[in-house]
Amino acid sequence: MLRGFYTAATGMMAQQRRTEMLTNNIANANTPGFKEDQSSLRDFPELLMQRMNTKSPTSQPIGSLSTGVYLQEAIPKFIQGDMQDTGNKTDMALIDVNMPAKGSVFFTVQGSSGQPRYTRNGNFTLDPEGFLTTNEGLYLLDDKGQKIQLSSDQFTLGENGTITGMNGEKAQLGIAFSNNPQRLIKEGSGLYRTENGAALTNASNQPGVQFKLQQGVLEQSNVDVTKAMTDMLTAYRTFEANQKVLQAYDQSMQKAANEVGKIG
């Protein structure tokens, strides 16, 4: 009976975490370059139940018992979002032309700790010193890992990532490639990092990887709001079902404690 409490409780906790993940997806439906998370639910190892024979040291197998479920991980879905024209010179979009299975390309920015970070959010701006930065103030990096400084926002961006400033400044965007982006660690604000802190490889040097950049365009979030709302409703109903099971166990325990074995 007590094991039922834990099984129902783990189901509630898993659905609560799934609801939080879906809520975050919906909240970022209008965030440029955001990649929605997908949940992966797994069950805990099952226990083999056996009935002990009081007349002999042998036991008789009864069957297995599930010990609950948990949300193992939230995996970003790296499918390209729709493109939206903004007309803003500092907005850039990465467009996948040909990608190996599960692979993806990213802008490279300098994290607050100085280590490289990766993003699909091309909503950049010029800071007071003329450096291209994210809205959080992180520097956009070129293919040599250097900051990109321009005299004004009147620059042109080539499809291959070449930036040409109004006064002749030249820079080549540092576009990184990951053949397994699901292993990247999400840091928030649309940023990712590698597990060991090592830099990703340059996408331009990877065979079979084809992409282009477009100026004045932003890649939108790939969140399907309708599906996310439906999944959230399903998670809520599953949470309620587990809650009712928990209440039923609680009532049974109260009856067992207060009425079973009562002397009339």
Is there a contact between 187 and 179 (Cβ–Cβ < 8 Å)? no
Which string of DSSP letters, residue by residue, matches 81-149?
A: --EEE---TTBEEEEEEE--TT-EEEEEEE-TTSSEEEES--B-EE-TTSBEE-TTSPBBBBTTS-B-B
Side-chain-side CA neighbours of 52 within 13 Å: the count stands at 2
pLDDT band at 48 (very low <50, low <70, confident <90, very high): low
| Residue 197: strand, helix, or coil | coil
Q: What is the predicted pLDDT for the residue at 220?
A: 96
What SS3 string covers 148-163?
A: CECCCCCCEECCCCEE
Name 43's bridge partners. 69
Q: What is the predicted pLDDT for the residue at 257?
A: 72
Is there a contact between 190 and 31 (Cβ–Cβ < 8 Å)? yes
Q: What is the predicted pLDDT for the residue at 22?
A: 95
Q: Give 3-state DSSP helix, strand, coil % of the chain, rounded to 5.
A: 25, 35, 40
Question: How far apart are the C-alpha atoms of 3 and 186, rounded to whole Å?
Answer: 35
For residues 21-44, average pLDDT: 88
Q: What is the predicted pLDDT for the residue at 184?
A: 93
Q: What is the predicted pLDDT for the residue at 44?
A: 59
| pLDDT, tens only, 153-162 | 999 999 999 9
Q: What is the predicted pLDDT for the residue at 92?
A: 97
Among the residue ranges 46-50, 181-185, 222-226, 251-255, the one predicted with the least confidence is 46-50
For residues 82-95, average pLDDT: 95
Question: How far apart are the C-alpha atoms of 157 and 132, rounded to whole Å?
Answer: 13
pLDDT band at 203 (very low <50, low <70, confident <90, very high): very high
Does the pTM surpass 0.85? The reply is no
Q: What is the predicted pLDDT for the residue at 259?
A: 73
- DSSP strand pairing (210-215 vs 185-188): unpaired
250 or 91: which carries more pLDDT confidence? 91
Ranked by mean pLDDT, which of 37-41, 66-70, 158-162 comes out on top?
158-162
Number of neighbouring beta carbons within 10 Å of residue 226: 8
Q: Among 159, 166, 163, 126, which residue's Cα sits nearest to residue 143?
A: 163
What secondary structure letter does DSSP report for 173?
B
Tokens 């499809």: give the residue: 159
Name 167's Cβ contacts closer than 8 Å, sequence gap at least 6.
151, 152
Whole-number percent of the chain with pLDDT over 70? 86
Query: Which H helix or E strand runs over 30?
Result: none
| Segments making up each domain of the chain, as ranges | 2-77+224-258, 83-219
| pLDDT, tens only, 125-145 | 999 999 999 999 999 999 999
37 or 60: which carries more pLDDT confidence? 37
| pLDDT, tens only, 229-253 | 999 999 999 999 988 888 887 788 7
Mean pLDDT score across all residues of the chain: 87
Is there a contact between 22 and 228 (Cβ–Cβ < 8 Å)? yes
